[in-house]
């Protein structure tokens, strides 16, 4: 990885893209520590983010929530909007047809995602304002001033969400890698010093074995993620010979690669977003004696019920994501059109059934891999007494984005070093 970045730095065009990406990241990090108006900084600094829902958002936003910053919502509204649009494209035929209309259809879907991002940013902005208000973190008094402050704070959070989305699109156009992923990566990696400080404090408390175990598990998980990310099942394909005019085409053997982790980190994001709904509702409840409060408390990120539901939902969403992304019938038809066939399998329905069976098995392996990585920190945290329940999601995102970015750099280097027929 370091060698790839070193070689890419020597190419002027790639170096400009890397510097532009770093510039956008710097803007995002600055906006993540500038508080919105009407917030009491002294009260905010003395308040810990103990609520699990806001702690979860704080990890994904790089601590912006803890500062009540302009970019406090970060990319979470955009991610949620993308998830909702993906689900609606399956449920609504009109959106499904729009998504299959090629580039123009994708542009319209992207535009709808932007609109939905603003709406979700507004909703989350209102929710965070109510959280600030209920915890007496505002520097205003009086009903009129409070209404005005609420309007300004909510508008600032919404505008920040839209601006973060725009910054991600600028990285897509002029930088390196996927913009939203890069911003999410920078937000999570900014929490590294705080995580190191937490481990150091546990070390001083005499929990050396626990800290060493967590570090070893962290390294093993990274190695396992890298290995599984590159793993794939290759279905052999043989192309028949065709004679066109005086030339003969085909006759070669190839393969159809199917990655073990086809869905990436999306099932984890889907599952965690749904399981955070009870904790979000719980964050606005004050009476701990109510039956509803006690019921919602069962969905704590440190509890057994959360781990079991998390495991099941990740597997379910992995199958759902692969179903909407891969169509075995279409893959079988494409093989037939190109005079390709899987050895020992008849073309047509037998081929689609065979591909479907392979996809099902591979998806199960990938889903189990994601589930284990996601719930392992919960189990380790329960045994060691350290709250790292969301560590698996963060590690998967960090490793996945890092590998994706390095592959993007390598592909751009290959394009620029390709020798044409006149060279």
* Beta carbons of 81 and 124 less than 8 angstroms apart: no
- The beta-carbon contacts of 255-259 under 8 Å, at least 24 apart in sequence, are 256/331, 256/335, 256/342, 256/355, 257/232, 257/233, 258/232, 258/233, 258/234, 258/358, 258/359, 258/362, 259/231, 259/232, 259/362, 259/366
What does the block give as tokens for 305?
């019920």
Residue 326: strand, helix, or coil: coil
How far apart CA 292 and CA 248 sit, in angstroms, is 72
Of 359, 349, 341, nearest to 255 by C-alpha is 341
Q: Spell out the per-residue pLDDT of the chain, length 423, in tens.
A: 667 777 777 778 888 888 999 999 999 989 888 888 888 767 766 655 555 566 666 666 666 777 788 888 888 888 888 888 877 887 788 887 887 777 788 888 889 999 999 999 898 888 888 878 877 677 777 777 888 888 999 999 999 999 999 999 999 888 888 888 888 888 888 877 877 887 788 788 877 887 787 788 778 878 888 887 778 888 888 877 666 666 665 567 777 888 888 777 778 777 877 777 777 777 666 666 677 777 777 777 777 788 888 888 888 888 888 887 778 888 888 888 877 788 888 888 888 888 888 888 888 888 888 888 877 777 766 665 555 545 667 777 788 788 888 878 887 777 766 544 444
- φ, ψ dihedrals at 49, nearest 5°: -80, 80
How far apart CA 209 and CA 203 sit, in angstroms, is 8
Q: At what angle do helices 208-230 and 391-416 cross, to 10 degrees?
A: 40
pLDDT value for 423: 45
pLDDT value for 257: 83
How far apart CA 258 and CA 241 sit, in angstroms, is 25
First to last CA, the chain: 29
Kindly report the pTM of this predicted structure. Answer: 0.78
* Beta carbons of 214 and 384 less than 8 angstroms apart: yes
> Side by side, which strands form the sheet with 253-259?
253-259, 232-239, 340-341
* Beta carbons of 71 and 28 less than 8 angstroms apart: yes
Could you give the count of Cα atoms lying within 13 Å of 39 in the half-sphere of its Cβ? 27
* Beta carbons of 137 and 42 less than 8 angstroms apart: no
Task: Give the pairing type, strands 242-244 and 253-259.
Answer: unpaired
Please count the other Cβ atoms lying within 10 Å of the Cβ belonging to residue 227. 11
* Beta carbons of 366 and 318 less than 8 angstroms apart: yes
């Amino acid at each position: 990885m370091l060698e790839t970045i070193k070689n890419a730095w020597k190419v002027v065009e790639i170096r400009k893209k890397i510097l532009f990406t770093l510039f956008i990241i710097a803007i995002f990090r600055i906006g993540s520590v500038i508080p919105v108006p009407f917030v009491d900084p002294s009260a905010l600094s003395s308040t810990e983010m103990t609520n699990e829902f806001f702690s979860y958002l704080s990890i994904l936003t790089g601590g912006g929530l803890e500062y009540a910053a302009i970019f406090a919502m970060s990319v979470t509204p955009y991610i949620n909007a993308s998830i909702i649009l993906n689900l609606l494209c399956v449920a609504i035929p009109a959106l499904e047809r729009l998504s299959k209309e090629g580039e123009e259809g994708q542009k319209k879907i992207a535009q709808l995602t932007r609109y939905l991002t603003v709406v979700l940013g507004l909703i989350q902005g209102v929710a965070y304002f109510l959280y600030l208000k209920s915890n007496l973190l505002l520097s205003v008094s009086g009903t009129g001033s409070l209404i005005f402050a609420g309007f300004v704070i909510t508008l600032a959070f919404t505008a920040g969400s839209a601006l973060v989305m725009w910054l991600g699109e600028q990285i897509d156009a002029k930088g390196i890698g996927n913009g939203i992923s890069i911003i999410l990566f920078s937000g999570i990696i900014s929490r590294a010093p705080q995580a190191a400080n937490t481990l150091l404090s546990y070390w001083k408390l005499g929990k050396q074995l626990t800290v060493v175990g967590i570090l070893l598990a962290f390294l093993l998980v990274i190695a396992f993620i890298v290995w599984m990310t590159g793993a794939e099942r290759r279905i052999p394909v043989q192309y028949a010979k065709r004679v066109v005019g005086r030339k003969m085409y085909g006759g070669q053997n190839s393969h159809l690669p199917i990655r073990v982790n086809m869905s990436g980190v999306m099932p984890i994001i889907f599952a965690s977003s749904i399981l955070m709904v009870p904790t979000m509702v719980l964050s606005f409840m004050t009476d701990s004696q109510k039956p509803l409060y006690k019921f919602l408390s069962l969905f704590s990120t440190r509890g057994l019920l959360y781990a079991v539901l998390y495991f099941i939902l990740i597997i379910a969403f992995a199958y759902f994501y692969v179903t909407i992304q891969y169509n075995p019938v279409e893959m079988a038809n494409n093989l037939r059109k190109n005079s390709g066939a899987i050895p020992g399998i008849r073309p047509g329905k037998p081929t689609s059934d065979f591909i479907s069976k392979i996809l099902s098995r591979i998806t199960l392996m990938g889903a189990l891999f994601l589930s284990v990585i996601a719930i392992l920190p919960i189990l380790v945290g329960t045994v060691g007494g350290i709250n790292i329940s969301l560590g698996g999601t963060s590690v998967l995102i960090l490793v996945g984005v890092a590998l994706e970015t390095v592959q993007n750099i390598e592909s751009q280097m290959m394009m620029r070093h390709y020798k044409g027929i006149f060279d």
